Chain A
Amino acid sequence: MKWGLIIEISQALMTARLKQTLVAAIGVTFSITMFVTLLGFMNGLNEMLDGLVLNRTPHIRFYNEIKPNPDQPVDISDEFSNSLNFIRSIRPSTSRLSIYNSESIMHALEEDPRVTGISPKIAAQVFFNVGTIDITGVVNGIDVDKEAELFAFQDYVTTGDYEDLKQTNSIILGKGAADRMLADIGDVIQATTANGNKIQLKVVGYYQSGLGDYDNANSFASISTVQKMLGEPSSYITDIQIKLTDLDLAPSMAKEYREIFGIDADDIQTVNAQFETGTYIRTLISYAVGITLLVVSGFGIYNILNMMIYEKLDTIAILKAIGFNSQDVKRIFISIALVIGVVGGSIGLILGFLACLGIERIPFETEALPTIKTFPVDFNVKYYLIGGIFSVVTTYFAGYFPARKASGVDPVDIIRGK
């Protein structure tokens, strides 16, 4: 088909009704702008809120839980094997917190292609001795580099350099804990572990996650420092945290490894189910609003094209008389709709991007979120693609029905009618 001619005619019809065409295009522009901005902003916020917890949450955490032994002697005994045994007041056996054979478990995890990173950790309960007062806290022994790589540790160290943590006997205090201890950078604090060891630690930084309770209790030191504090060997590890290539694999992999290694494993979905729900609902609402805007602008195009067809009945009749068939006429009006959609949509995408850039510049500082200085915006290409595709699809349908009407115009009726 001769698309050149069809586009030329569409263009002439549009320029003849420039104002209406512009109004229709502006409608699309506005809705696409809003769609992109809304989704970008909403998802930026979503990601930030989720990141608050999820970024720092391992996809799977392996640990030993202190609990009663499920295999009690009476169950093993042949004599009672066929009876129903009730045992009251079972106490946890003297199991240890550290993970057995942690070296080989870590080695096995490293070999797994689904795993992107492993970070070992020791959680140690301590008392910080401040004068005559003891403040309880948890010192997390971490592998500094791994923690930074997998859990963006450095983002949350608001004062001081996280690299300093690699020196033995240094500590990064939670902001809340530091405030209570009145500990400045460079100060030396004293901590007592649960088994009575006293140790002097030098404060090299503050840690602020944005979750107040967490910052009151948690401080960080290197693994070797914590092992030394506890008087344990270098194989002593209480937690192994891993990140996966695909978050959705977590529940099944946790189950798999729980059986293989015989240790406890928590996956991120189970631990943080409520975050996913919140994110899902917020995303759903933003899509609903965005799509409503687009549909409304589609009705605008529909109206304007209908009006244009009514005004241009003569033109349509002449075109048909001189040899344009129904499909040609339909194509002319669909191209008008698509041009409105594509031009309006593209400008909308650009304006939406600019609006997002603008929002990203707006200062947004809160005590709770030390890493956030401006409003977060998500610039995912996905939203631009959805916006673009949707604008074309809506305008196509908005144009399709008027175009079908135009193609059905009987030239004889029009020409005779005068």
Chain B
Amino acid sequence: MSLEKKSVLEAKDIDKYFYNPVKTQVLKKVTFRINRGEFVSVVGKSGCGKSTLLYILSTMDTAFDGKLWMDQELISGKPANYLAKLRNEKIGFVFQFHYLLNEFSVLENIMIPGLKLGKYSRQELEHRAMEKLKIFDMEDHALKKAYQLSGGQKQRVAIARALINDPLLIMGDEPTGNLDKKNSDIVYNKFKELAQEFGQTMLIVTHDTEFASGTDRIIEMEDGKVIRH
């Protein structure tokens, strides 16, 4: 970690409790940082708190103790609307099950976060969305409705959507967890490509050791603690 490298995400002493049914601590003093351009994976057994950590880092879950910086800006304790704007602008999401909005076409799905941000005109966004689709060889499916795609195709589109606003960071929650071997490989290769060719910063939660081994850095968790990073 050279000093010139800028920190994209920094977590300090993050504690998280679940209160239902009894008070249990799921995260214990989690501290780490991710620098620009890193492809990081978070691994650990089921229930070790890695998904919980991801939702805290993603700003969607705000009920935690500790401090969180994004792009060197303290974001823990900021109002919900500010965080929503931040998510829109700086974070791209890829989930395990929740891929796309079925009511919209593939192209529209990719464009929606961009339209929300409002940085580019609709025409520009359409052009940019097509560019992103080309990265994933999905440009032929642009006008299909989201539900007409296969799982692997949906996940590729979801990654394209995560990229539309040129996010600071892409977060993935088991992005290959629900896919078969073939599609899983395709998606994995695309992540790899993004890291190598575009220098995209990425934080992926996975329990797929093969996937994790291909990343720059592995953060390993056990019982709510980071045991290796």
Contacts and interface: CB of A to CB of B under 8 A. Distances in A.
Interface of A: 2, 4-5, 8-9, 12-13, 15-16, 314-315, 317-328, 411-412, 414-416, 418
Contact of A320 (B60, B100, B103, B161): B60
A411 B113 CA distance: 16
Contacts of A325: 80-81, 84-85
B98 A415 contact: yes
9 contacts: A5-B115, A9-B103, A16-B103, A322-B161, A323-B88, A323-B117, A327-B81, A412-B60, A416-B51
Interface stretch (B70-78, B89-97, B131-139): B89-97
Nearest to B56: A412
Given A325-B80, A327-B81, A411 B103 contact: no
A326 B113 CA distance: 15
B67 to A, nearest CB: 20
B112 interface: yes
A98 B82 CA distance: 85
Interface residues of B, number: 32
Closest 4 CB pairs of A and B: A323-B88, A325-B84, A12-B103, A16-B103
B161 A412 contact: no
Contacts of B118: 2
Contacts of A321: 58, 60, 87, 93, 95, 98
A323 B60 contact: no
A325 B104 CA distance: 20
Given A318-B100, A320-B60, 19 more contacts: A12-B101, A12-B103, A314-B98, A315-B101, A318-B95, A318-B101, A321-B60, A321-B93, A322-B87, A322-B88, A323-B116, A324-B88, A325-B85, A411-B60, A412-B60, A412-B61, A414-B98, A416-B51, A418-B98
A49 B108 CA distance: 61
A318 to B, nearest CB: 5
Interface of B: 51, 55, 58, 60-61, 80-81, 84-89, 93, 95-98, 100-104, 108, 112-113, 115-118, 161, 173
A5 B96 contact: no
A98 to B, nearest CB: 82
A314, A322, A416 — most chain B CB neighbours (10 Å): A322
Nearest to B93: A321
A13 B103 contact: yes
B172 to A, nearest CB: 12
A24 B16 CA distance: 44
Contact of B102 (A16, A328, A414): A16
Contacts of B100: 318
Nearest to A326: B80
A324 B98 contact: no
Contacts of A4: 115
A325 B80 CA distance: 7
B88 A418 contact: no
B20 to A, nearest CB: 12
Contacts of B96: 418
B8 to A, nearest CB: 17
Nearest to A16: B103
A412 B51 CA distance: 10
Contacts of A315: 101-103
Contacts of B85: 323, 325
Contacts of B86: 323
A318 B98 contact: yes
Nearest to A329: B84
A317 B100 CA distance: 11
Contacts of A415: 55, 95, 97-98, 173
B39 to A, nearest CB: 21
Nearest to B90: A323
B58 A323 contact: no
A9, A15, A323 — most chain B CB neighbours (10 Å): A323
A416 to B, nearest CB: 7
A159 to B, nearest CB: 69
A415 B103 CA distance: 18
B84, B85, B89, B161 — most chain A CB neighbours (10 Å): B84
Nearest to B104: A12
A2 B118 CA distance: 8
